[in-house]
């Protein structure tokens, strides 16, 4: 035992490993060695690679979708660090906004703004501030456990004064450029939350199948007795706000008389669907003929100064639904407001900020508008102004947090004039590398093309206050924008260093206005998306500090989030950067698809199909989870997720990798003549030919190194192109080849301690650990620690501090690759052929006959003959062309060549050839002749290179065929072959017996065997082979009936005999 210990070079590696436990140990190691910190520090002075962290909110629990995003975020900084870049990984937290407020409202049992005001803004915001960190420890733990390397200690926090001051500075810049303005705009508005919703918030709350009223209303035409314009609406509550009716100028309209005798105008196309049967057609006219007609307003709560209640033309009028005449309420629709402003129509504001009718709307004053729908409908009915009332099912927006139906409502608020920059937004987007590519012109591009001004204001509490002060003098429009705390202090003459830049404290700051009033802050706060979109600037508290850092880190090389951020963070980053700096905020972006449950449905709390990252980590580990995320499909696609899917990845890829590693360590530790120290340094960065020391005459070694270097090349290219799938999947394929081809075929060499083989495998595993480090940081470092750090002083302390491998193109051998592929193909077919004839691989056979597709392939196969013979356990290789009578011939016309040459002639040629004598055809083509095919009208000349002559073995052989290849094996067994088969069978039985007896792999043994005829013959012919294979010192032949020696024994059939073999440790 001591003897073995002294030879030990690597820590023994158990074949069975608990990945989660191993990962915990690696976390400890990183902690002790401060690997993360050093991965940044040791690259200082190198080129910078800039990553922006999209800030999460810590008042919600992190879920598996966060693991997805963070896995993708993490790999590029790791890769670039290994490439020598300095990558600062500054974290960030999004801390403001409605989600936080709503959580606190819930806690406090408050409902709506009025109650918050009563409760007190100071106390409320204090609660928000604390609530923000509700799940901070969960986030920290998850970040650590999954090895997402990000600096949380110096993370930016959007609610900090420094951050807010930077936002004020940005707003001041925009103010100076006249890009901030207050204007009417119809916004989706949540009456309960008392705030407009941004377009990105709006998108969160659409509900299909919402049922609303659908009513057809009669507007009495002035000076035309008993005549009405028929208009349709699904929002009866907007009718008191009606200012006009719109028609399409070129749409055909009709005037009809219904059974009651009333005359109605409506679109011709819609008469059938809208009108009750029994109407009479009176007139037809274009919409333009209706323009200018005046009608009696339905209600007269306001008496606006402007002209209103007449027919106008609008291009958005359609005949898809309704009556082809559109009710226009400028206060309650974006189109309505636009067309209303164009015609100078009044904005009839009938609804207050709580979504209730104002006092002057006497019948329904104080009623929530949606609740007033039935009463309004009934009122119209009573006055004979309702044509009919139905219900209508459509998609309608609801508040994404509180589920209140939204209303469209004209509100005065602060806007950012992004639409002025629409062309620049689009132009700058072209410079961004989007993954997947289609987002650039597709979803994101489309969004930019349809850019509308950014509604920046929110009538809320816990967010960045808009730093605009307004004079409260009556009728005053005097405004000032404040760009810093110092500026504010100067205006007020106060020391404001301790001022909390939140409501209500900021609201309390006032100063005298030049027009005699007092400057008071406008009530609104900023859309939180402005916070995160401004992080490139604000994370550095720029321009108040960190001028150098800002210079270095102002533009990201890489960001990554899920696709829902197209209108969220991706947009706000791009918008702020374009408006301020006229350049994109990020150069490369991976836009991830969503995570779905195993059955492809959405993961949601209500369905109860949420998968906890912690559970998956505990079962399979973070590496397995990460690897699944990378390899499950293209990053932009939605991906299904479940424990089972991760388990499959672990079993197929991680276990294979681990076992190869474990195998290597076992044999390397047994080998007397080899240690990694005898390997020359493999520091790729320092040598132009990093693999020069690995040269080997062995074709399998050369093949493996060729494949490895090719892999390095492919994976490197993939990382450079942000192609995660290609950076990962080929590694799994390689590991499969490594384990099931290279290692399998070389077992004997490892057993013999072949230094070249060990060196090759060691180098391969170390290189693999580097290639895998960005993706699976735990296992890769575990391997690296044992294979490099533990044995090679002076090497980096962790794979994450190592340099990325360089591909050595000189060892990439395309021919060898092709040869080996062919060998694998032929082996597969050879096994199939054996299978058909029920010949075990253990049974040696005389000959394998192969038909290749070309001379080159034949030559290639000859180069790997030995390997092929070993794998197939046959004595000799022959080629079908040599096999004379055994061969059947077929001439196959190649579709590519002939199709291009003769087009529709190809099927004719194929048909004709099939009917011809194949032997004869083959002879002519082999001789280089061409063959003409003639039809009634055409003559097609087929050259030798247009066909493939295929030769297939006939009878007496067992045959398997695929893709133009054919492999046959001879089925006749000679006594010698049979005996050799028995020898192999015996060896296998003894090996199994050793295993069952729990012997160490290097233990020597003694055997007892009965002196049966077969065994006697066998031992005479193959004694040395059996001794060597099974580490047997001595075989004692005992009488067949005699007792078995002490120790293990096994009884099994061998040939026609049944034998019992006894085993003792020597």
Partner RNA sequence: GGGCCUGUAGCUCAGCCGGUUAGAGCACUGUGCUGAUAACGCAGGGGUCCGUGGUUCGAGUCCACGCAGGCCCA
Question: Please, what is the minimum distance in Å from the beta carbon of residue 688 to RNA?
Answer: 31
Nearest of 854, 857, 917, 849 to residue 883 by alpha carbon: 849
- Footprint (CB under 7 A) of RNA, residues 1002-1031: 1003, 1030
Pairing of strands 263-267, 227-233: parallel
* Site for RNA contains 659 (CB under 7 A): yes
994 binds RNA (CB under 7 A): yes
Distance CA 571, CA 830 (A): 58
Q: Round to whole Å and give the CA distance between 411 and 330.
A: 11
966 touches 850 (CB < 8 A): yes
Whole-number Å distance between alpha carbons of 772 and 780:
6
Task: Tell me the per-residue interface mask from 443 to 462 with RNA, x by CB under 7 A, - otherwise.
Answer: x--xx--x------------
DSSP codes joined into one string, 468-500 = EEEE-STT---EEE--SHHHHHHHHTS--TT--
Q: What is the dihedral of CA 1034, 1035, 1037, 1042, to 10 degrees?
A: 90
856 binds RNA (CB under 7 A): no
Q: Which two tokens stand for residue 436?
A: 């997947």
The residue from 853, 858, 1006, 1040 that contacts RNA (CB under 7 A) is 853
By CB under 7 A, name the one of 7, 551, 651, 1058 that touches RNA: 651
The reply on whether position 740 binds RNA by CB under 7 A is: yes
Q: Which residues are CB-contacts of 360 (< 8 A; sequence separation ≥ 6)? A: 301, 302, 350
Residue closer to RNA (CB basis): 81 or 429:
429
Give the one residue of 223, 900, 937, 1041 binding RNA; rule: CB under 7 A: 900
As a whole number of angstroms, the distance between CA 170 and CA 717 comes to 39
Closest approach, Cβ 637 to RNA, in A, equals 6
Can residue 575 be called a binding residue for RNA (CB under 7 A)?
Answer: no
Q: Which member of 359, 442, 512, 514 binds RNA (CB under 7 A)?
A: 442
In whole angstroms, how close is the CB of 841 to RNA at the nearest point? Answer: 4
Q: Which residue of 404, 656, 918, 1017 would you call a contact of RNA, by CB under 7 A? A: 656
Report the C-alpha gap between 122 and 245 in whole angstroms: 47
Instruction: Give the separation between CA 674 and CA 8, rounded to whole angstroms.
Output: 11
- Looking at the Cβ atoms of 19 and 447, the one nearer to RNA is 447
**Segment 463 to 502, residues that bind RNA, using CB under 7 A:** none
Angstrom distance (rounded) from CA 102 to CA 118: 16
Q: Which of residues 335-364 bind RNA (CB under 7 A)?
A: none
Positions in 315-334 near RNA (CB under 7 A): 320, 334
CB nearer RNA, residue 384 or residue 895: 895
The interface with RNA within residues 161-200 (CB under 7 A) comprises 199-200
Among the listed residues 430, 747, 923, 954, the single contact to RNA using CB under 7 A = 747
Q: Which residue number, 281 or 894, has a Cβ lying nearer to RNA?
A: 894
Choices 28-36, 136-144, 295-303, 651-659 (CB under 7 A): range interacting with RNA = 651-659
* Parallel, antiparallel or unpaired: strands 263-267 and 252-257: antiparallel
Subset of residues 963 to 992 that bind RNA, contact rule: CB under 7 A: 963-964, 984, 987-988, 991-992
Q: What is the Cα–Cα distance from 488 to 164, expressed in whole angstroms? A: 13
Count interface residues toward RNA (CB under 7 A): 88
**458 vs 524: CA distance, rounded Å:** 5
The answer to whether the beta carbons of residues 227 and 241 sit under 8 Å apart is: no
Interior/surface letters 269-295, b for 16+ CB within 10 angstroms, e for the rest: bbbeebbeeebeeeeeeebeebeebeb
Of 504 and 593, the one with the shorter C-beta distance to RNA is 593
Closest CB to RNA among 185 and 255?
185
The yes or no reply on residue 728 touching RNA (CB under 7 A) is no
Residue 906 makes contact with RNA by CB under 7 A? yes
Given the complex with RNA, which of 83 and 982 has the nearer CB atom? 982
Least distance in Å: CB of 439 to RNA? Answer: 6
Give the shortest CB-851-to-RNA separation in angstroms: 11
C-alpha–C-alpha distance, residues 676 and 674, integer Å? 7
Which residue's CB is nearer to RNA, number 181 or number 206? Answer: 206
Stretch touching RNA by CB under 7 A, among 153-161, 243-251, 760-768, 958-966: 958-966
- Which range binds RNA by CB under 7 A, 70-78, 712-720, 764-772, 995-1003? 995-1003
Binding mask 907-946 for RNA (x = CB under 7 A): x---------------------------------------
Q: Is 1001 in the site for RNA (CB under 7 A)?
A: yes
Does residue number 395 form part of the binding site for RNA (CB under 7 A)?
Answer: yes
Based on the shown chain and the rule CB under 7 A, indicate whether residue 752 belongs to the binding site for RNA: no
Q: Is 206 in the site for RNA (CB under 7 A)?
A: yes
Alpha helices by DSSP H, listed for 957-1046, are 975-996, 1013-1030
Comparing CA positions, the residue from 880, 877, 884 lying closest to residue 862 is: 877
Torsion-angle region of 941 (φ positive above 0: left; ψ -120 to 50: alpha; else: beta): beta
Long-range CB contacts for residues 138-145, cutoff 8 Å, separation at least 24: 138/61, 138/62, 139/56, 139/58, 139/62, 142/62, 142/66, 142/67, 142/613, 142/614, 143/70, 144/27, 145/23, 145/27, 145/614, 145/617, 145/622
**Mask: binding to RNA, 589-628, rule CB under 7 A, as x and -?**
-----x-----x-x--------------------------
Asked if residue 549 binds RNA (CB under 7 A), the reply is no
Q: Which is nearer to RNA, 523 or 659 (CB)?
A: 659
Q: Where are the alpha helices (DSSP H) in 671-754?
A: 699-720, 724-737, 744-745, 747-751
660: contact with RNA by CB under 7 A: yes
User: What's the count of helices (H) and strands (E) in the chain, helices before strands?
Assistant: 39, 40
Strands 244-247 and 326-328: antiparallel
Tell me whether residue 103 or residue 737 sits nearer to RNA (CB atom). 737
Between residues 684 and 891, which has the closer beta carbon with respect to RNA?
891
CA-nearest of 594, 547, 750 to 663 is 750
Three-state SS for 416?
strand
- Kindly give the residue spans of alpha helices, DSSP state H, lying in 837-974: 855-863, 865-872, 895-902, 905-915, 918-926
Binding flag, residue 689, RNA (CB under 7 A) = no
Q: Give the CA distances from residue 417 to residues 421, 455, 469, 652, in Å, rounded to whole numbers and listed in that order.
A: 8, 9, 19, 54
Sole binder of RNA in the list 31, 177, 259, 840 (CB under 7 A): 840
Cα–Cα distance between 824 and 836 in angstroms, integer? Answer: 19
Q: Which of 697, 904, 927, 932 binds RNA (CB under 7 A)?
A: 904
Strand 518-521, strand 468-471: pairing: antiparallel
Q: Shortest approach of RNA to residue 529 CB, angstroms? A: 11
DSSP 533-587: HTHHHHTTTTTTS-HHHHHHHSSEEEEEEEGGGGTTHHHHHHHHHHHHHSS-SEE
Tokens 């080996």 correspond to what residue? 820
Is 280 an interacting residue with respect to RNA (CB under 7 A)? no
Active-site residue numbers? 55, 94, 529, 565, 569, 602, 605
Provide, rounded to whole angstroms, the least separation between the CB of residue 640 and RNA: 5
- Contact between 803 and RNA by CB under 7 A: the answer reads no
Compare residues 740 and 810 and give the one whose CB is closer to RNA: 740
Q: Does 270 bind RNA (CB under 7 A)?
A: no
385 binds RNA (CB under 7 A): no
Question: What is the closest distance, in whole angstroms, from the C-beta atom of residue 187 to RNA in the complex?
Answer: 10
470 vs 710, which CB is nearer to RNA? 710
Name residue, tokens 């209508």. 392
* Distance of closest approach, residue 740 Cβ to RNA, in angstroms: 5
203 binds RNA (CB under 7 A): yes
Name residues whose C-beta falls within 8 Å of residue 548's C-beta, 6 or more positions apart in sequence.
none
Query: Which of 212, 564, 723, 881 touches RNA (CB under 7 A)?
Result: 564
């Amino acid at each position: 035992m001591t003897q073995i210990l002294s030879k030990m070079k690597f820590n023994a590696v158990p074949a069975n490993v608990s990945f989660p436990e191993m990962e915990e140990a690696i976390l400890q190691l990183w902690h002790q060695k401060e690997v993360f910190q050093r991965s940044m520090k040791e690259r200082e002075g190198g080129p910078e690679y800039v990553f922006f962290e999209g800030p999460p909110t810590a008042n919600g629990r992190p879920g598996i979708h966060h693991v997805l995003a963070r896995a993708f975020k993490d790999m590029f900084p790791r890769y670039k660090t290994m490439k020598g870049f300095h990558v600062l990984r500054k974290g960030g937290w999004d801390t403001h906004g409605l989600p936080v407020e709503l959580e606190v409202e819930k806690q406090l049992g408050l409902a709506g703004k009025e109650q918050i005001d009563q409760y007190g803004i100071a106390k409320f915001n204090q609660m928000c501030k604390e609530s923000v960190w509700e799940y901070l420890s969960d986030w920290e733990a998850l970040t650590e456990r999954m090895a997402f390397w990000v600096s949380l200690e110096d993370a930016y926090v959007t609610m900090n004064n420094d951050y807010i001051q930077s936002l004020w500075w940005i707003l001041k810049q925009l103010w100076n450029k006249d890009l901030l303005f207050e204007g009417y705009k119809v916004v989706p508005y949540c009456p309960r939350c008392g705030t407009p919703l941004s377009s990105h918030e709006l998108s969160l709350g659409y509900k299909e199948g919402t049922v609303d009223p659908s009513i057809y209303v009669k507007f009495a035409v002035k000076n035309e007795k008993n005549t009405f314009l028929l208009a349709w609406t699904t929002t009866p509550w907007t009718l008191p706000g009606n200012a006009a009716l719109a028609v399409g100028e070129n749409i055909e309209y009709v005037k009809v008389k219904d059974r009651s005798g009333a005359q109605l105008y409506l679109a011709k196309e819609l008469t059938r669907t809208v009108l009750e049967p029994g109407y009479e057609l009176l007139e037809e006219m274009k919409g333009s003929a209706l323009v200018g007609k005046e009608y009696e307003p339905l209600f007269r709560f306001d008496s606006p100064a402007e002209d209103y209640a007449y027919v106008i033309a609008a291009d958005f009028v359609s005949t898809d639904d309704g009556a082809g005449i559109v009710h226009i309420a400028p206060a309650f629709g974006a189109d309505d407001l636009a067309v209303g402003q164009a015609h100078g129509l009044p904005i009839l504001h009938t609804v207050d900020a709580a979504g209730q009718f104002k006092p002057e709307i006497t019948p329904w004053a104080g009623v929530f508008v949606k609740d007033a729908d039935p009463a309004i409908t009934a009122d119209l009915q009573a006055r004979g102004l309702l044509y009919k009332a139905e219900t209508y099912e459509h998609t309608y927006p609801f508040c994404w947090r509180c589920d209140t139906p939204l209303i469209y409502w004209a509100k005065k608020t602060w806007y950012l004039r992004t639409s002025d920059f629409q062309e620049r937004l689009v132009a700058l987007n072209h410079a961004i590398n989007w993954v997947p590519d289609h987002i650039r012109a597709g979803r994101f591009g489309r969004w930019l093309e349809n850019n509308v001004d950014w509604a920046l204001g929110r009538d809320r509490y816990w967010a960045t206050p808009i730093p605009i002060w307004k004079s409260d003098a009556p009728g005053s429009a005097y405004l000032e924008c404040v760009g810093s705390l110092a500026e504010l202090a100067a205006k007020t003459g106060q020391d404001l260093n301790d001022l909390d830049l939140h409501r209500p404290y900021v609201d309390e700051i006032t100063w005298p206005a030049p027009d005699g009033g007092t400057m008071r802050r406008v009530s609104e706060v900023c859309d939180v998306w402005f916070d995160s979109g401004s992080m490139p600037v604000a994370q550095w508290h720029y321009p108040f500090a960190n001028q150098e850092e800002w210079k270095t880190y102002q533009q990201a090389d890489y960001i990554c989030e899920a696709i829902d951020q197209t209108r969220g963070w991706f947009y706000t980053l791009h918008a702020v950067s374009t408006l301020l700096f006229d350049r994109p905020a990020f150069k490369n972006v991976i836009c991830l698809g969503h995570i779905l449950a195993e059955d492809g449905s959405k993961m949601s709390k209500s369905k109860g199909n949420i998968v906890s990252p912690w559970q998956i980590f505990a079962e399979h580990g973070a590496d397995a989870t990460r690897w699944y995320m990378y390899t499950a499909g293209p990053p932009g696609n939605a991906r299904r997720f479940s424990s089972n899917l991760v388990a499959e990845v672990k079993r197929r890829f991680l276990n294979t990798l681990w076992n190869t590693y474990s195998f290597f360590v076992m044999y390397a530790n047994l080998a007397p003549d080899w240690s990694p120290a005898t390997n020359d340094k493999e520091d790729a960065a320092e040598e132009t030919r990093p693999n020069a020391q690995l040269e080997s005459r062995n074709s399998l070694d050369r093949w493996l190194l060729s494949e490895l270097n090719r892999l390095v090349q492919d994976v490197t290219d993939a990382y450079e192109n942000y192609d995660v799938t290609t950076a990962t999947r080929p590694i799994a394929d390689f590991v499969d080849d490594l384990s099931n081809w290279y290692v399998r075929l070389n077992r004997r060499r490892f057993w013999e301690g072949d230094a070249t083989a060990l060196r090759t495998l060691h180098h391969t595993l170390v290189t693999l650990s580097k290639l895998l480090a960005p993706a699976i940081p735990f296992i890769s470092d575990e391997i690296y620690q044992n294979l490099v750090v533990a044995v090679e002083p002076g090497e980096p302390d962790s794979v994450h501090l190592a340099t990325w491998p360089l591909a050595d193109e000189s060892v990439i051998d395309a021919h060898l690759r092709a040869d080996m592929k062919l060998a694998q193909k032929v082996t597969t077919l050879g096994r199939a052929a054996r299978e058909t004839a029920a010949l075990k691989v253990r049974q040696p056979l005389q000959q394998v006959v192969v038909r290749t597709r070309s001379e080159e392939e034949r030559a290639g196969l000859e180069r790997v003959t030995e390997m092929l013979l070993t794998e197939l356990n046959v004595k000799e290789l022959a080629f079908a062309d040599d096999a004379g009578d055994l061969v059947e011939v077929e001439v196959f016309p190649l579709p590519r060549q002939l199709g291009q040459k003769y087009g529709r002639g190809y099927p004719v040629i194929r048909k004709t050839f099939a009917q011809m004598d194949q032997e004869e055809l083959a002879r002519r083509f082999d001789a280089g002749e061409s063959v003409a095919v003639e039809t009634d009208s055409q003559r097609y000349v087929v050259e030798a290179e247009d066909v493939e002559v295929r030769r297939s073995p006939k009878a007496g052989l067992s045959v398997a065929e695929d893709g133009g290849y054919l492999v046959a094996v001879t089925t006749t067994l000679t006594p010698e072959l049979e005996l050799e088969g028995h020898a192999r069978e015996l060896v296998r039985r003894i090996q199994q017996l050793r295993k069952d007896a729990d012997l160490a792999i290097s233990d020597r043994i003694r055997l007892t065997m009965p002196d049966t005829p077969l065994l006697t013959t066998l031992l005479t012919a193959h004694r040395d082979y059996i001794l060597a294979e099974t580490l047997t010192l001595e075989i004692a032949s005992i009488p067949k009936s005699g007792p078995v020696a002490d120790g293990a024994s096994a009884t099994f059939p061998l040939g026609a005999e049944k034998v019992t073999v006894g085993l003792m440790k020597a």
